[in-house]
Amino acid sequence: MTPSHGHGAGVASAALWGSVRLAVLDIETCNAADGDHIIDIAVVTCRRGIDTGRWDRKLNPGVPIDAESQKTHGLTDEEVAGAQTFAQVEPELTRLLTARDGEQLILVAHNAPFDVSRLKLEYERAGRAMPDLAVLDTMALAKHVRLRTGDLASLVGALNIVNSKPHSALGDANATAAAVMAMLVTAAARTQDFDALLAQVMGRRKSRTSAIQVAGRKRRRPRPDDIAEPGIDLPAAHILGHAELLPEQPTADDLATWTAQVSECGQLRCPYLEDRIDVAPLPPREVLVLLEPVLDTALSGGRPAAVATVLGAVLRVIGGLGNRPAALAWHKTWGPRLNAAGACTSGEACPACRADQPCPLDTWHQALATVALGPMTKQTQLQGSFMRTNGVNAGKGVFTTWQATGHRQLADYAAWLVHEYWQSADQATRATVLARYAWLAGGRDPRLCAAHARNTAAPGGAAHLQSGIDICDQALQSRHGSTDDGWRDLQATRGRLAGQLARRTLKPSGQVDRAGNPIPVRRHHPDKPERARLTRFSLDR
């Protein structure tokens, strides 16, 4: 993505920033029996699209630096032996993380739950409370601006940013700061309200530091008291089993043991399963091959929550399919079974549902559609490879081919991705046309339906607004209980359009009801009848 820095983009970006100050955080840690300890920390502050200051400290963790952590960041016990402790630098850090002079302070990090949870642990050790701040995760922001990246290295690579000191707190904080400022230029084209942007980007993710629990690193040995979820009773032996990591060069027996542990995670609806997948030292494609038999067993067991738990892990490595034919083949094989798997219930829910996040059973097709669509460029989209937006073949392309060959779910979500691509490329007309053709072809992705409803209602007339509402109502009939955030957004769009229509068609009386809602004027009230005037005709003609 190459953000535009023209005059229009600059004005929009300035409007978005307003009084916002970003505190971009990065840490490096080491493992210990009582949880992770921070040994390197940095904060880069940003205002109005430029970095305005840097603060970084090496810290004495008070525990030996383990060999595994040292391989990552290269810091040794000797290098930090004379450094300050976290408790000693905490007052400086807290000042940086405290809003002042009416500013809006946002904490930014890449994979924010990791950094924030470890920082909160250090605050606890120091006997202090970490300031409660709004959180912006650059992993989520990258997804919002349609960058297909995962770790920080891939993000800065996609943005052509050079990280001169990767795996150092200051180097990574500088790179994250540059990345967030570049992505905000793109985001500013859609909204100039930072609160609205945070809501759109973070969705159901934990968007404040107070909502993120204190936790250890994924490779820390889990403890039974780490689980604080009601209704989830994991055996202590299972939790401790997560410390048995898959070797770098696993044998057939190692793989069999690991697969059995993954299967047990699924049956227990274990919230640590995705962590187990993330630390597996295998390419995503190989992990996917190991997970498919586990998914097959879960589907045969008839417990939707177990299926959703395993499916959440599968989605971590679905990118290992690598190309469109493989993604389409996977959808053809697994799609019908996943669609028939049922849904989690309040009595038995997967980790995502318990965390009030979209259930993998409702959103699995999105990750697969991203793989099937592949990289998007202006040239390939102008050629109409996905959907032509003009000419005699307008509305046709890969989209209609996928629909006709049983890949409707992938077609619908891919259409939304292409729509967002056109919006980010300042091709709003193409995006509008694509949304209309997708709707006419039966596409029912809730985000794209909401966009089409807004486009239809844009002229502002009562008939236009009603047509937009009708589109929302028709689309909502396809929800079928889905927890996908897009349906909530579509419902909100309907509410806004209904409010606009009511304000246009009802005259306020100046009074309000008990709930504080405005009371419209009642025409032809029975106590005060109004007689319509007779139409006068002229006979002079």
What is the Cα–Cα distance from 276 to 271, expressed in whole angstroms?
Answer: 10
Both 156 and 227 in one domain: the answer is no
Q: Of 189, 211, 233, which one is at a domain's C-terminal end?
A: 211
275 assigned to some structural domain: yes
Rg (CA), the chain: 27
pTM for the model = 0.59
Both 57 and 151 in one domain: the answer is yes
Q: Please tell me the total count of domains within the chain.
A: 2
242 assigned to some structural domain: yes
pLDDT digit string (tens) for 206-229? 678 888 877 543 444 444 444 444
Contact by Cβ (8 Å): 46, 177? yes
Question: Which pLDDT belongs to residue 197?
Answer: 80
Question: Which pLDDT belongs to residue 326?
Answer: 92
Give the sheet arrangement for strand 20-30, strand by strand. Answer: 50-58, 37-47, 20-30, 104-109, 134-137
489-523: string of b/e by CB count within 10 Å (b at 16+)? bbbebbebbeebbeeeeeeeeeeeeeeeeeeeeee
Both 87 and 160 in one domain: the answer is yes
523 assigned to some structural domain: no
Both 275 and 241 in one domain: the answer is yes
Both 160 and 270 in one domain: the answer is no
415 assigned to some structural domain: no
Both 369 and 248 in one domain: the answer is yes
Among 237-251, 254-268, 369-383, 411-425, whose mean pLDDT is lowest?
A: 369-383
534 assigned to some structural domain: no
pLDDT digit string (tens) for 393-451? 999 999 999 999 999 999 999 999 898 888 877 889 999 999 999 999 999 999 999 99
Is the confidence at residue 466, as pLDDT, over 70? Answer: yes
Q: How confident is the model at residue 3 (pLDDT cuts 50, 70, 90)?
A: very low
The distance between the two most distant Cα atoms of the chain, rounded to a whole number of Å, is 108
Both 113 and 256 in one domain: the answer is no
Q: Of 316, 347, 374, which one is at a domain's C-terminal end?
A: 374
Question: Which pLDDT belongs to residue 540?
Answer: 54
421 assigned to some structural domain: no
Both 139 and 160 in one domain: the answer is yes
pLDDT digit string (tens) for 515-538? 666 677 765 555 555 555 555 555
479 assigned to some structural domain: no
Both 163 and 258 in one domain: the answer is no
Residue 317 lies in domain: 221-374
pLDDT digit string (tens) for 181-202? 988 888 877 666 787 788 878 7
- Report the pLDDT averaged over residues 321-348: 93
503 assigned to some structural domain: no
Both 120 and 155 in one domain: the answer is yes
CATH number at residue 73: 3.30.420.10
Both 292 and 180 in one domain: the answer is no
Q: Of 374, 405, 428, which one is at a domain's C-terminal end?
A: 374
Both 271 and 324 in one domain: the answer is yes
Question: Which pLDDT belongs to residue 55?
Answer: 95
What is the Cα–Cα distance from 128 to 348, expressed in whole angstroms?
Answer: 37
